């Protein structure tokens, strides 16, 4: 059954992207071809080529769109959080976004499509989220008594958060239920933050 039938021209790109993500999630990268995406989206292969230029462009759009959406989620958390809770709230938002968008997350961070190499533009979009993490780390260091280089601290926090979430998404976190998973994530985060304090 097609992922979607006829769609207005303005929605075609979004429908095709949603179809590609659905195929990746259900069947993996090997099943995601221009033909399969077109069939799932209810359009012609010409529609996919017109919107994305082919499979590589389609994956690039998932990658860039993922980082843009991810960045928006983190920015929403950043605007609401007080300085002494900023990094904690960002970590919670990071985990929530990854759990809600596991396929995009794996395209962004896990090489879900092994032959995809991000363009310079895509890399710049992805690095912007880390730049924001560095800025947030720098802004909150005094409030929670962090010591050291903000770039270094942000990198280690990001690595720790990413590692935890990657294990969780892979089903390797050993938690019995969501309550235990959330509690373990919070304990790990607090240990990371303690390790960076004065």
Q: What is the CATH number of the domain that holds 25?
A: 1.10.10.60
Burial 123-147 (b: 16+ CB within 10 A, else e): eebbeebeebbbebbeebbeebebe
Model pLDDT, residue 198? 67
Q: What is the CATH number for 73?
A: 1.10.357.10
**How many domains in the chain?**
2
Task: Say what the pLDDT of residue 173 is.
Answer: 79
Instruction: Provide the 8-state DSSP code for 197.
Output: B
For residues 123-130, average pLDDT: 94
pLDDT confidence of residue 9: 53
Are 197 and 144 within 8 A, CB to CB?
yes
Whether residue 132 sits in one domain with residue 43: no
> Does residue 17 sit in the same domain as residue 92?
no
Place 2 in a pLDDT band, splitting at 50, 70 and 90.
Answer: very low
Please compute, for residue 196, the number of CA atoms within 13 A of its CA located in the half-sphere on the CB side: 28
Among 27, 53, 79, the domain boundary falls at: 53
Q: Return the half-sphere exposure (C-beta side, CA atoms, 13 A cut-off) of residue 5.
A: 1
User: Confidence class of residue 145 from pLDDT cuts 50, 70 and 90?
Assistant: confident
Q: For the chain, give the percent of residues with pLDDT over 70.
A: 94
How big is the chain, counted in residues? 198
Rounded to the nearest angstrom, the gap between the alpha carbon of residue 74 and the centroid of all alpha carbons in its chain is: 10
Same domain, residue pair 107 and 162: yes
CA distance 50 to 75: 32
Give the residue-averaged pLDDT of 165-189: 88
The C-alpha atoms of residue 1 and residue 5 are separated, in whole angstroms, by 9
Q: What digits encode the pLDDT tens for the residues 6-60?
A: 444 558 899 999 999 999 999 999 999 999 999 999 999 999 999 999 999 999 9
Q: Do 66 and 37 sit in the same domain of this protein?
A: no
pLDDT greater at residue 86 or residue 171 = 86
Domain span including residue 45: 1-53
Residues 90 and 148 in one domain: yes
User: Global pTM?
Assistant: 0.88
């Amino acid at each position: 059954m097609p992922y979607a039938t006829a769609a207005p021209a303005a929605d075609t790109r979004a429908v095709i992207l949603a179809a590609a993500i659905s195929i990746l999630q259900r069947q993996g990268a090997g099943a995601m071809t221009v033909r399969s995406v077109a069939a799932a989206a209810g359009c012609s292969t010409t529609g996919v080529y017109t919107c994305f230029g082919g499979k590589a462009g389609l994956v690039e759009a998932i990658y860039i769109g993922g980082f843009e959406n991810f960045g928006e989620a983190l920015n929403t958390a950043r605007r609401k959080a007080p300085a002494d809770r900023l990094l904690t709230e960002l970590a919670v938002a990071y985990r929530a976004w990854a759990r809600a968008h596991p396929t995009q997350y794996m395209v962004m961070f896990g090489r879900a499509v092994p032959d995809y190499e991000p363009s310079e533009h895509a890399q710049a979009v992805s690095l912007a989220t880390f730049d924001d993490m560095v800025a947030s780390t720098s802004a909150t260091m005094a409030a929670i008594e962090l010591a050291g280089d903000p770039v270094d601290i942000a990198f280690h926090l990001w690595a720790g958060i990413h590692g935890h979430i990657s294990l969780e998404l892979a089903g390797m976190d050993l938690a019995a239920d969501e309550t235990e998973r959330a509690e373990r994530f919070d304990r790990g985060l607090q240990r990371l933050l303690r390790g960076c304090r004065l």
